A and B are shown apart, each in its own frame.
Chain A
Amino acid sequence: MRNTFSEALYKAATANPDVYIVVADISPAGSMAKFSQQYPERFINVGVAEQSMIGICAGLALKGCQPFAYTIATFSLYRPFEMVRDDLCYQNLPVTVVGMGSGVIYSTLGGTHHTQEDIAIAGALPNMQIIAPCDPAECTQATSHCATQKKGPVYLRIGKAGEPNLTEKAVDPWVFGKLRYLTRGSDVCILSYGVIMQKAVKLAQAFEAKGKSVSLVSCHTLKPLDVDGIADALARHKHVIVIEEHAPQGGLAPQTKQIAWDTRATCRLDTFTLQDAFIHNYGSHDDLLSAHGIDLGLISARVGLA
């Protein structure tokens, strides 16, 4: 995703001389080198100084520019939190805070490098919008959107590298603030977002192998959440499943439950999230997810596929 982010940002910067990227001692790979060579005055590296990264972006935006702040998710949102809240959200500035390697992707680096609660934290901030693309193609569309929108701050939650494209045959186009059906069925609906969508795809395939008609949905915009779209999904399917790489509080799962309650939904609803715990485990991204209970085998058993 970070490569496609770089490509999309380079294009945006070429089209608009007010697009800046302010990084904190880390740079997206690929064409970001092209960006920094082509537009050195708009590629700012603050070093290990994330508070100033956000503040500088705010200052640029106060003068009408369209800046992106970029570093590992925990350092783009948690370390400079008050700057994100006051400088960006309180002033409602069109700054995109890119959280790279979100969730537990940095599976060997330990809890200091994990963002298990970022949707809840960013989502609690007035004016903040949250986008979490599920594959490189969605990342491109989300980045282009962020580079042109003037509504306010965005937390753009992306993965790292090597994610497969999952949306080439999507039924729906990517539209900010709307659920995106990748496939449309009538029995089971799986809602997910971000890198973990790969597990949702496999789960959908398992259901289809059992003869079920499956809707697979990318909830790429977490705020504002497409409440009507989720209510509709709850109404149209017998079984709805949420899979997210986030703590049980404040993410898609509890919000879907809330909508289900508000709309008196009658479908079966299963949710799978990270645990509300720091798990001192290492290994691959998959290993970390499994330690949290997001394991295809466990999920399959819970949803009646085993």
Chain B
Amino acid sequence: MARRNVFDARAARERCRTYRRRILDISQQVQALHIGSAYSCTEIVDAIYHGLMRRNLDGTSPDTFVMSKGHGCMIQYVILEAMGVLSREELDRYCKPNGRLGCHPDYGNPGIEASTGALGHGLSMVVGMALAERGRKTDGIIYTVLSDGEVQEGSTWEAVLMASSLGLANIVAFVDNNDFQSLGRTSETHPSFYPLPEKFAAFGWETVAVDGHDSGAIFDVVSARKCQKPLMVVAKTTKGKGISYMENVPIWHYRSPSPKEYEQGVVELEKAAS
């Protein structure tokens, strides 16, 4: 078993384009799927699964991923599908009466390590998981992605405080900092929310800011961490990234595209491949 220390950013870009297209296709089967939220963290979740998490020969990993911003789980589903953990048939039944995959990840489904959806729960569970790894003297790393809105939850800060106070250097967390929540831009509704990295640093975390759509940079900043403290990667992202009419438009937090909008999205994603 060896850590993957080589990450092909070009291949990551192509994977991410494919994932966005798969999500866009699924959007035509259901009323809603948090497409903007999935697109904003596509490169982050891809880098975690395909670059940062180590793999055993049988495909399992000593590391764990928790999608704390559970509403972004569509990107997790399509990656798990591409990895063969979830079947195509399973994903085709997304949010349908005979399916088991819903808008938020459910523990017990293949590849899902914790149930999330209500915000502010994930990081405390991650702290518990990291404690268990340490208690068993195993070297598993717990990766998680939080939304920026989720960081407003007091419970998130309880966990931030505990992770550093317990010295859990086996936690790598990302904030998907797309600057949007339901009622508008976070920077407008909560200007005191910023700057973010300094807040986590003040709570005893190693922190770094990165372009959340630069797969290579994401991999590099995590690979370069000092491993003395939990790491918080504040990733600047664009909600709805990849399809022009979705970018920074709040309605795409939840809406599915019309057939016409779908066609335009397909064209844009195809163009990105060339």
Residues of chain A whose beta carbon lies under 8 Å from any beta carbon of chain B: 17-18, 20, 41-42, 44, 46-47, 49, 51-52, 54-65, 67, 82-83, 86-87, 90-91
Given contacts A51-B124, A51-B154, contact A59 B107 (CB under 8 A): no
From A42, A57, A82, contact of B128 by CB (8 A)? A57
- The winner among A46, A57, A63, A87 for most chain B CB atoms within 10 A is A63
The 16 sampled A-B contact pairs (Cβ below 8 Å) are A17-B135, A18-B135, A46-B158, A49-B158, A51-B154, A55-B121, A55-B127, A56-B124, A56-B125, A56-B131, A59-B127, A61-B128, A62-B114, A65-B128, A65-B132, A91-B108
Query: Would you call A59 and B118 a contact (CB within 8 A)?
Result: no
The CA-CA distance from A52 to B114 in the complex, in Å, is 15
Given contacts A62-B128, A86-B115, A91-B114, contact A55 B135 (CB under 8 A): no
The CA-CA distance from A41 to B137 in the complex, in Å, is 11
Query: Would you call B124 and A83 a contact (CB within 8 A)?
Result: yes
Give every chain B residue within 8 A of A82 (Cβ-Cβ): 118, 121
From A59, A86, A91, contact of B130 by CB (8 A)? A59
Question: How would you classify the secondary structure of chain A's contact residues: helix, strand, loop or mixed?
Answer: helix
Smallest CB separation, B75 vs chain A (Å)? 21
From B117, B125, B166, contact of A62 by CB (8 A)? B125
Query: Would you call B128 and A59 a contact (CB within 8 A)?
Result: yes
Across the two chains, which residue of chain B brings its CB closest to A65? B132
Residues of chain B whose beta carbon lies under 8 Å from any beta carbon of chain A: 107-108, 113-115, 117-118, 120-121, 123-136, 154-155, 158-159, 161-162, 166
Query: Would you call B154 and A55 a contact (CB within 8 A)?
Result: no
Query: Would you call A62 and B131 a contact (CB within 8 A)?
Result: no
Given contacts A60-B131, A60-B132, A83-B155, contact A91 B107 (CB under 8 A): yes
Given contacts A51-B155, A86-B121, A87-B121, contact A56 B127 (CB under 8 A): yes
Give every chain A residue within 8 A of B134 (Cβ-Cβ): 41
Query: Would you call A54 and B132 a contact (CB within 8 A)?
Result: no
Smallest CB separation, A248 vs chain B (Å)? 31
The CA-CA distance from A49 to B127 in the complex, in Å, is 13
Query: Would you call A63 and B161 a contact (CB within 8 A)?
Result: no
Give every chain A residue within 8 A of B120 (Cβ-Cβ): 51
Across the two chains, which residue of chain A brings its CB closest to B133? A63
Give every chain A residue within 8 A of B108 (Cβ-Cβ): 91
Beyond the given pairs A17-B135, A55-B125, 16 more chain A to chain B contacts, judged by CB atoms under 8 angstroms and listed by A's residue number, are: A41-B135, A44-B166, A49-B158, A51-B120, A51-B158, A52-B158, A52-B161, A56-B127, A56-B131, A58-B124, A58-B125, A59-B125, A62-B107, A63-B133, A65-B135, A82-B121
